[in-house]
Amino acid sequence: MDDHDLLRYSRHILLNEFGTEAQQILLDSHALVVGAGGLGAPALMYLASAGLGHITVADGDLVDLTNLQRQIIHRNDAVGVNKAVSAQRAMLAINPGIRVDAMPERLDAAALDRLIGTADVVLDCSDNFVTRHAVNRACAVRRVPLVSGAAIRFDGQITSFDFRLPDSPCYHCLFQDQPDAEEERCAIMGVFAPLVGIIGAMQASEAIRLLAGIGTPLTGRLLMLDARTMAWESVRFKRDPACTVCSAAKNGAAATHLKERHHANA
């Protein structure tokens, strides 16, 4: 960090829990953010302003007029622009000292696996179950911590999965794959604008605290918010011993380990 960085991040560095060490960890870290919509907007802006040194943002959608009510990273003149590209522009305007990679596409399983293998933390800011489960699977296999948020109508929820820990539960332990589950999308159901701001900002907070080891992350705890009354509910959960994703990740990791040992011996 040069003098300019020390000034830019001085209000973090002043915190006892932070100091220059934690700030340097953030600057040296890579975060993948899947989705640059309502949750991704505040999450990306806080990660950029806080000095997350390398951020990859992926979103295949274009900014639409109906997004501007809550997706505060996108400006009126970004309508029609890809969301990842629009977000990249806004983040570099906030902090030109970081690296931002924009992926203007919906990532398939192979792309997710490859990208997550290079990330230190992943934020799931997507809006559909297929993506949520695919991101979860790749994070579990690659043992990369995942911060998961969701918001619809006036209901929000957030939790973290720290796959660096051996007995971490996963998203699938909490929410099984339901191929015929009704997808509740903002397009049909509506969503309270500041709710996505609350949950998205909390996702950035979780990611930063997981990376820098500050305080106690939301691992094994699901927080649920009813924004009509601002009532929070906290539910504890553990790994489901019958979870297929957890057992596959464990076997996959063991197989990789064996293969690497085999190569080392060869």
Binding-site size, Zn ion (CB under 5 A): 6
Are 107 and 130 spatial neighbours (Cβ–Cβ below 8 Å)? no
39: Cβ–Cβ under 8 A, 6 or more apart, which residues?
Answer: 123, 125, 149, 150, 151, 196, 199, 200, 203
d(CA 146, CA 133): 12
Nearer to Zn ion, 5 or 240 (CB): 240
CB of 242 to Zn ion, least distance (A): 9
Give the largest CA-CA distance in the chain. 63
Q: Where are the alpha helices (DSSP H) in 95-241?
A: 109-116, 129-142, 171-174, 186-189, 193-212
The residue type found at 204 is A
Query: Of 172-211, which residues contact Zn ion (CB under 5 A)?
Result: 172-173
- CB of residue 88 vs Zn ion: minimum separation in angstroms? 33
For Zn ion, the binding residues in 60-79 under the rule CB under 5 A are none
Residue number, 95 or 168, with CB nearest to Zn ion: 168
Would you call 29 helix, strand, or coil by DSSP? coil
By the rule CB under 5 A, 170 interacts with Zn ion: yes
Please identify which residue in the block is written with the tokens 């006892």.
Answer: 16
Active site residue 186: yes
Residue 168 or 203 having the CB closest to Zn ion: 168
- Which is closer to Zn ion, CB of 43 or CB of 173? 173
Q: Count CA atoms within 13 Å of residue 109 on its CB side.
A: 7
Specify the stretch interacting with Zn ion by CB under 5 A; choose among 57-65, 99-107, 112-120, 243-251. 243-251
Catalytic residue among 125, 186, 243, 246: 186
Nearest distance, CB of residue 251 and Zn ion, angstroms:
13
Of the listed pieces 62-70, 158-166, 178-186, 245-253, which binds Zn ion according to CB under 5 A?
245-253
Residues found near Zn ion in the complex (CB under 5 A) = 170, 172-173, 243, 245-246
Residues known to be catalytic: 186
